Chain A
Amino acid sequence: MLSFLARRLLLLIPVLFGILFITFALARMIPGDPCIMALGERATAEQCFQYRERFGLNDSIPVQFMHYLGNLAQGNLGNSLRTSEAVGDVVLLRLPMTVELAFTAMLIASIVGITLGIISAYWNNSPIDVMTMMGANLGVSMPVFFSGLMLAYFFAIVLLDTPLWLPPSGRLTSGITLTPLVETFHWQNLSGAPLVVVTFISNMATINSLISGDWPVFWDALRHLILPAVTVGSISTAIIARMTRSSLLDVMGLDYIRTARAKGLREQLVIFRHALRNAMLPIITIVGLQLGHLLGGAILTETIFGLPGVGQIMVDSIYARDYPALQAFVVVIAVIFVMVNLIVDISYAYLDPRIRLQ
């Protein structure tokens, strides 16, 4: 297992380097002069030269890339050309929302998808199976920005004045504010990486309120999160349900299941103890692979539900040609994606010894 881990981590280096290089190179190709974007149309050549000198834009591209890597290693993601804020701060403020949304969606999609898949496989070819699979086909084909709008319409308008009503937009009801964890627990002397981690977690409303034990805020945050998360997770739910069904059906045809049945085991025991364990491997892979779609879906869905994540700010950055901001968002999200895939790979190897030994 250790050698597998080492090999897998080594393989990570070129991929991470590739991600950084591609985003860096592409960002430099964004048309438009960053100096004009930052200083305005009336900037003189002299001002522009000094501006470029200050931000190292007069250096050759390889030198700039090395500077970029150096800064990155120190946790410095650069400054926004639009607002001249440190991009790292903007990422810390905005990204937790997107990550919270994507992971909640992943949780919902896994639970609902696996359950539906098991039901479908258990009653294979029954009306309930046909219905579920038709639903799954529809779910895969529906764009999230459409299903989101329809869910908002149903839960916020049709169910208005009923207990099932859910808010169609915003992160928290206006008037309710989130206290940063640093203040709740008096961690003012925190700095460096721990501060970054705490701030990141602190900006995820549900987790923050859960840790602080602030139940009214938690309930409010959760109610605002349900619709977006179900929306983001809809496609993945369908894909996971299909995968669970086919994987379980494959395993159910194997000899050891027949043996288990012949022993007189109860059917539930056969499915949950024997079949599902072996059927889990491809399901875990597909869940991990879904995260990329979920992050993309989260970016789209935020704009529908008015959530303060990275979605809108990325689009704004594109129109403002604010490439340091854009580049930072892309790099951070891609790195999160790669890390989750790494975790999936490791858990896969942990569950299936054959993979470790390859």
Chain B
Amino acid sequence: MEPDNATVSGVATQTRRNLWLDALRHLLEKRSAVVGLSVLIGLAAIALLAPALATHDPIQPLSDIKRNTPPCIHLLGCPDSQPQHIFGIDGNNRDFFSRMLYGARLSLIIGFATVSLALTVGTLLGAVSGYVGGWIDNVIMRIMDVMLAFPFLLLAIFLVAVLGPGLINALLAISIVSIPGYARIARASVVSVKEMDYVTADRALGVSPVRILFRRILPNAMTPLIVQGTLGIGTAIISAAALSFLGLGAQPPTPEWGIMLAEERNNLFNAPHLLFIPGVAITLTVLGFNLLGDGLRDALDPRLNR
């Protein structure tokens, strides 16, 4: 008797769901991954609630206060007669706490935007390269090789020079520089998946190559890309902050952590907290993505002995 189609697809969905549930369970078993995830959830909450949490405008300077005023927190004994500024006042008379909150928003947007672009373009290039093969494969991968022959930040700086300094262009530059990494991984996965029996079966059934690529091959090649993408968000945030720090990314008065560090650089000796706070914020964010990425790598790898 032939099995009922509905039953077969039901079993398939259930197994698939279990695989993802399994991965999630393994992820939550790793303490470092949970720490990373918690940091990121906290950060996302701050980013979402920034307008509600901010006590002042992040861009407009305050008129009635001295610059570099140290933090004043009423709960910690700062007299009520003074206005409360949780992280103090920056070198341009702005409330540093509010700027930090909006910075969280910008950092997450930067991370996700750059990686989404790089991941999409890189995966497409790598997948086409691996699936089609031949001279197309050769041309694409040799271009990727040459791009990888440049130090990452150097090529990003050079691209910013071509595009012109600015946050959007810095993001574009970082995306473009990240493409070869994803393309290589996608190509390797596609090459290893495309010889599997189920792909051959599809081909024998006359399924169109585009459909095979997008419905059969790519979903099965996604795991390493997800891991690389998560780790890549951390790299993207650091690189964007670095470009901003050099004056090539976000421009003042944007509340971006990298440029905030650069702006307060000369205050290292008299107001080090203005450097310490954004620095720790960048570090924590990147740490969150790195821990989550490492955890995902272990959780999504079925070969790992647990």
Contact = CB atoms under 8 A, between A and B. Distances in A.
B246 A337 contact: no
B234 A141 contact: yes
Interface string A34-50: 00000000000000000
17 contacts: A18-B149, A140-B290, A141-B234, A143-B241, A143-B283, A145-B261, A146-B282, A292-B150, A295-B154, A299-B157, A300-B153, A315-B246, A318-B161, A318-B165, A330-B150, A330-B154, A334-B149
Given A18-B146, A22-B146, A149-B279, A334 B261 contact: no
A39 to B, nearest CB: 21
Contact of B287 (A141, A296, A337): A141
B127 interface: no
Nearest to A152: B268
Contacts of A27: 162
Contact of A150 (B265, B279, B291): B279
Contacts of B269: 153, 157
A317 B151 CA distance: 18
Nearest to A22: B146
Interface in B174-197: none
A153 B268 contact: yes
Interface of B: 32, 142-143, 145-147, 149-155, 157-162, 164-165, 234, 238, 241-242, 245-248, 258, 261-262, 265, 268-269, 272, 275-276, 278-279, 282-284, 286-287, 290-291
A333 B284 CA distance: 31
Given A15-B146, A300-B246, A330-B158, A337 B272 contact: no
Interface in A276-320: 291-293, 295-297, 299-300, 303-304, 311, 314-315, 317-319
A318 B151 contact: no
Nearest to A315: B246
A216 interface: no
A333 B246 contact: no
Interface in A17-37: 18-19, 22-23, 26-27, 29-31
A14 B151 contact: no
A23 B142 CA distance: 16
Nearest to A297: B153
Contacts of A84: none
A142 interface: yes
A137 to B, nearest CB: 6
Nearest to B243: A300
Main secondary structure of the interface of A (DSSP, over half): helix
Contact of A137 (B150, B165, B290): B290
Contacts of A143: 238, 241-242, 245, 258, 279, 282-283, 286
A149 B162 contact: no
Given A149-B261, A149-B279, A314-B157, A292 B290 contact: no
A140 B287 CA distance: 8
A32 B145 CA distance: 30
B154 A141 contact: no
Interface string A127-161: 00000000001101111111001101100010000
A166 interface: no
B275 A146 contact: yes
Nearest to B278: A146
Contacts of A319: 165
B247 A146 contact: no
A315 B248 contact: yes
Contacts of A19: 146, 149-150
Contacts of B284: 141
Contacts of A137: 32, 287, 290-291
B154 A30 contact: no
B159 A142 contact: no
Nearest to A12: B149
Contacts of A145: 241-242, 245, 258, 261-262
A300 B153 CA distance: 9
A326 interface: yes
A57 interface: no
Given A18-B146, A300-B242, A300-B245, A333 B151 contact: yes
B279 A337 contact: no
A107 interface: no
B142 A14 contact: yes
Contacts of A295: 151, 153-154
Given A146-B278, A150-B279, A292-B150, 16 more contacts: A18-B145, A27-B162, A140-B290, A141-B287, A141-B290, A144-B242, A145-B241, A149-B261, A149-B265, A149-B275, A153-B268, A293-B151, A299-B157, A300-B153, A303-B245, A315-B247
